[in-house]
Structures are given as C-alpha cells and as structure tokens.
Structure 1
Amino acid sequence: MGDPAGVGPELCLRLLNRSQKNYTPIVFGDASILKKVSKLLDLPMTSPVVSLGTSVTGPAIIHCPTADLSNIVPGRVQANCGEASVEYCLRAITEMKRATVDGIVTCPINKEAIYNAGYSYPGHTELFAEQFADSKTCMMQYAADIACSFVTTHIGYAEVCDQLTIARIAEVIELTNDALTLIRGTAPKLLVCGLNPHAGENGRFGNGEEELLIVPAVKKVKRQGIDATGPVPADTAFTPQSRERFDGVVCMYHDQGHIPIKMIAFDRAVNVTLGLSAIRTSVDHGTAFDIAWSGKANPGSLFEAVRLAANLSKTGK
C-alpha cells in the first residue's frame, strides 16, 4: 500500500475496483486507512479484509496491523507511516517466499518517513535486495517506448564516482540486456551514457571515467555478444532519433535517466528491480503528498506496474 499518508491507499482502491483478467490483486496494508479513504473519496471497498496467513482465491485486502495510524494526517511525513510502509513490504515478501503470491508491486514510500522510523533503506530496491540476499541488482525504469537502468541510484552526486567500477557498469548492462530480452522477446540494442558532459570529450571533462571505466565495461559485454554502444553524451541518449534506434539506455546516476523518462512517460513508466530472485515492480512516482487522499491520483503507473508483474510471472521471470 505504500505510505498511508500518500496516494497509495487511493491507488490501491482504484486497482481493486478495476476489472481484472490476468491477475488477482491482493493489497497488503491497513484496512482502517483504506476504509477512511474509501468513504472520503466515495470509492467502493468491496474486497474482503482478511488477516495475515489467510488463504485467498480472489481480490483481497490483507490487514497488516503496525504502528497506530488512527491520527495520521494525509500529506505529511510521519514516522509511524514510514514504519507501516516498510512493514507492508516485509509481510508481502514473507508471502512471496512462501509462494503464496507470484509478484510484488509496491506503491510509493517516503524516504524521510522510513528514516525517521529507524530504517536505513534508501528505497525499495535496496530493501528487496537485502531481504532476498541478492547482490547483483539494479533499478530499471520501463515503458513500452523507453527503458533505462541505473548503475547508481539513491546516493549523493559526490559519491557517484566512487561507486563506478568496470564490473558494476558491465553488470548493469548485462542485467538490462537480460530483462529487455525477456520482456520484449528479442535481444535489445543498448546505449550506455557517459558520466561527464559530452561523455568526457576524450578526457577533457572529468577524471577519465569514460576512458578508464565505461569503455572497458562496454568492450567486456560486447565480447559476450551484447549489443551495446557507448559511452555516449547523455543529452542525446533520449532524443526521438535515439529511441527509434535503441531499445534501452544505461545511465550512470539517478537523475540522468529519471528526468527524461518522467518527461516522456510519467504516467506509464514502471520501476522494476532487475537481478532479484523474485518479481518486483513499482509505480514510477512518489507519495505525492500534495494530492494525498484527494481523489486526484492517476493510477496509470500502478496499472502498468501490475500488468508487467503479471506478464513476468507467466514467463517465470
């Protein structure tokens, strides 16, 4: 359900009220919050509410009691909401490990709220990687007409260079190639962004990250048969012409890919954790506190995330 004070409860209700053909939605969250939002927004809440461990055969709400949420204020950062949002994930992960669910789709959490609750996860990607003990993972943002993955994600710019290695860059290219091959049915053509302006301009900008790290990584994966080109200047990687020629972009840091994908496919893009020994997708937006519990949340990204998770579960990931 994500952060109870964000748009997650509304999105979950809209999902439960949507006609389902290829999947069965099960919401892990707080039933009392969903009831409040249902009444406030006049959204039907007809799915049964059951306790953890209950076997279900149709759409359902699994009530996950956590911290007291009776007095939460929608649209604000609150530690008890941060605690609840993490607990919903952990309980869904438990069911995933028991094979009672086929995939997990996460609604947005607020990082400040989960920090205030005592957790150190920078985001969902890191939480899931830890819980499934998977060391080789990365984030990918995906839509039908654009896809980009990230070598680094939730760290400050000053830390990015320290996290770039030949092995890590090659690993993310490999994960991206495998994922897009699975999703689209054919091996993709990938662009790999440089780190610096103009991809370093042959060493004039930066500290040689392109020449010392990115070029060797691209050469390594090409020897494995992966169709990768780069490093290329990031400011041309997402042009219409590039998107016609290439199927995915590998980015060196968070905003290098998040800005263009939100400009191009804000309500259609999906967050996917690659390399995870489980299926996990997510909406490609935040808690949207400014419109929480208002009836204005666009469920498009959630619907796409559910659709992709359902498709991946059929292919065995």
Structure 2
Amino acid sequence: MKPLIAITMGDATGIGPEIIVKSLQDKEIYNMCRPVVIGDIGIMRRAVGIIKAELPCYAVTEPCTAGQEYGRIDVIDLNNLPADLPFAVVDPRAGKAAYEYVEMAVKLAMEDKIDAIATAPLNKDAMNQGGCHFPGHTEILAHLSNTKDYAMMLTGGALRVIHVSTHVSIRRACELVKKERVLRVIQLADQAMKLIGILNPRIAVAGLNPHSGEGGMFGNEDIEEIIPAIEAAKKMGLDVTGPVPPDTVFFRAAHRGHFDIVVVMYHDQGHIPLKVLGFEQGVNITVGLPFIRTSVDHGTAFGKAGKGTADHLSMMESIRMAALMAHARAEGKGEGICRR
C-alpha cells in the first residue's frame, strides 16, 4: 500500500497552490504515495490555470478515495475562499483558511485516515490577523495534537539540523538552553534519523557560545547545561559528540561527513547554514508529534505569487520525505500505512 499524504494548501495569496500543482505534475510522486490536497478547489483550479497544467481537480469527501490516479488532483474542499482572492497581500481570510487546512489535516491524522502531512507555506501575519494566534506551523501542530515535547528539524543537501528552540527572541533562546531540553532534542534527533533509515545516527551538538564557551570565558551554558545533557545521552547509548564549536560543526557535518545531524541551540544557528547549503531543496520536519509532518522550508513568496515562476523543489521534496518516513514507520512498527 502506498501511504496517503495530505498536502495542506497554505496561504492562498502566496505560491502554495502553484508549487503543489507543479509537484503533482511529477508522476514519481504518485509512484511513491497517494496525495490529497486539503484546501479550496477553486483556488487549486486557478493555480492549475496559472501553471497551464493538464491536471483536473476533483473534490473528494473521504481521503481513502484520493490519490489513486496520476493526472488528476484530488482535493478535500473546505470551501473557505473566493476563487478570485487577490495575490500577494496579507489577507486575514487566507490566514484563517490556512489554519483550518492544517486543523483538518491534524484531525485526519489523529483519526488514522492519512499517513502523513506535508504543508505548503502560510503567512504568520495573515493567520494572526485572521484570529489564529500562533507563531508558526510547528506550534499549531503541537497545540492541535496536545504535544509537549517536539522540535523542528531541517534537512537540505548534505546537512540536517534539529533545534532546541525556534520562534523566540535570542535572549529567550539562551534562557531555554537547559540540560533537560537539550537531552530531549538529542533523543528526538536519534528517533528522527532512525525514521529516515539511519539506524546508528551520529549526532553532533553545537555549542551555544563562541568556541563553545572557551572553558567558561565566553559563557557558562555549555559547561552547565549542554555538556551534562551530552553525558546523559551517551549513558543511554547514543552516539553524541560535543559541544562542537558552532563555527566548525556545520562544515564537519556537511563537508567532512562526520555527523548525520546537528543539534542546534536556536533558530538562526540552524536555519542560516541549512539555507546557505540547501535552500531550494530544504525540508522542515516536526519531530515528536504523534504523526509525520513535513513542510517546505520557505515562505509564501508574495513576489512570485500568481506568476507561475515559483520553484517547487522544496514542496516536492517535502512530499517525498513524508512518503519515505511513512514507509519507514510502517516497516519499523508494523503500522502507519492507511488502509481505509
């Protein structure tokens, strides 16, 4: 059985619908999985016209009937938006609708009616103006699934990173570097790597401060919080190295191949090297949820919306990664491929 992947449409005023259409033009996607879009069928049909794709869109009510035939796009139509919604504007209607697409996807995942979720980009400003007050997808998914321990993982090119903290200020990010949280993210990194087929993952932990604190000269967090977490992980049998100075750890991971994944301490420490090395094919994975979720690693790109020129590689890689992880989960646990 091919896994059933729900693709949320994202913010309709951005490039989400277009990059979904471009991705679903690739027959290989249908060889790997059964895709179904959760969104608005009128917006998806508009995107098909922009791309000039020969892909008719059909409304389906149950995901189990979707994605079985290449050459068509099956849509769970929430009918939230007018088909002539303007492009490239912060629109509260689109923000609220984007949240509701994710809400529906989580509901289906929790009911075991789909095997994974792949999300197109939403606009945080529009979503908050629409009354849905979350800093991003990761926090929405955790809230809707009542998940407490989770982390953002990014993959792109030869690099993978997973974050101790994400959408908080730098000041707050430093405060969140605590032994318990660092240890939990190391464990999540180990679990995520095994889910994509790396059975004995080599995990590097980046330091927080320059030179990992230089023995306390540049800060004590590395000594007091990060090293104890690493030692605890090693006692659990995990292959962990660190803290590795943050100015060298990504070179060692991506170019020397010393590590399979890097645990980073805050948002930009992981995002910047990942996007330098693999922006176009970057995939965002939320680790720790009771279901599989992948996403593009870019925003709504208003400057390209409605023009048909947006690059879809990250969206396509997100769908492929969701399918890969769903297969791995099914093989490892004897469950996970939706058969309804």
1:107-148 Cα deviation digits (max 9, x unpaired): 111111111112221111111111111211101002462110
Displacement of 1:283: 0.8
Displacement of 1:261: 0.6
Q: Which residue of the partner structure matches residue 303 of structure 1?
A: 316
Alignment of 1:64-75 (within 5 A): 64-66=78-80, 68-70=81-83, 72-75=85-88
> Is 2:149 aligned against 1:136?
yes
Partners of 1:252 and 1:305 in 2: CA distance: 24
Q: Structure 1 vs Structure 2: percent identity of aligned residues?
A: 37
> Is 2:179 aligned against 1:180?
no
Partners of 1:50 and 1:184 in 2: CA distance: 33
Residue identity in the other structure for 2:225 = L
SS in 2 for 1:191: strand
1:232 corresponds, among 244, 255, 259, to: 244
Displacement of 1:192: 0.7
1:14 corresponds, among 8, 15, 22, to: 22
When residues 256 and 53 of structure 1 are mapped into structure 2, their CA distance, relative to the original with a 3 A threshold, is closer
Q: TM-score, normalised by structure 1?
A: 0.94
> Is 2:35 aligned against 1:25?
yes
CA-based RMSD of the aligned residues comes to: 1.8
1:184-241 Cα deviation digits (max 9, x unpaired): 33211111111112211111113x1111111111111011111111112111111156
Partners of 2:95 and 2:300 in 1: CA distance: 11
> Is 2:260 aligned against 1:247?
yes
Partners of 1:138 and 1:214 in 2: CA distance: 17
Contact kept, 8 Å, 2:14 with 2:302, in 1: the verdict is yes
2:305 corresponds, among 289, 292, 296, to: 292
Partners of 1:243 and 1:300 in 2: CA distance: 25
Displacement of 1:70: 4.8
> Is 2:46 aligned against 1:36?
yes
Displacement of 1:47: 3.5
Alignment of 1:103-182 (within 5 A): 103-143=116-156, 145-182=158-195
> Is 2:50 aligned against 1:50?
no
Task: Give the gaps of 5 or more residues in structure 2.
Answer: 1-8, 331-340
Partners of 1:115 and 1:273 in 2: CA distance: 21
Q: TM-score, normalised by structure 2?
A: 0.88
Contact kept, 8 Å, 1:191 with 1:250, in 2: the verdict is yes
Contact kept, 8 Å, 1:69 with 1:80, in 2: the verdict is no
Contact kept, 8 Å, 2:205 with 2:242, in 1: the verdict is yes
When residues 221 and 106 of structure 1 are mapped into structure 2, their CA distance, relative to the original with a 3 A threshold, is same
Task: Give the gaps of 5 or more residues in structure 1.
Answer: none
SS in 2 for 1:235: coil
2:13 corresponds, among 5, 13, 21, to: 5
Partners of 1:273 and 1:163 in 2: CA distance: 19
Residue identity in the other structure for 2:74 = A
When residues 194 and 152 of structure 1 are mapped into structure 2, their CA distance, relative to the original with a 3 A threshold, is same
Partners of 1:182 and 1:101 in 2: CA distance: 17
Residue identity in the other structure for 1:249 = V
Q: Which residue of the partner structure matches residue 264 of structure 1?
A: 277
1:253-285 Cα deviation digits (max 9, x unpaired): 000010111111112221111111101111111
Contact kept, 8 Å, 1:142 with 1:148, in 2: the verdict is yes
> Is 2:227 aligned against 1:209?
no
Pick which of 182-191 and 296-305 moved more.
182-191
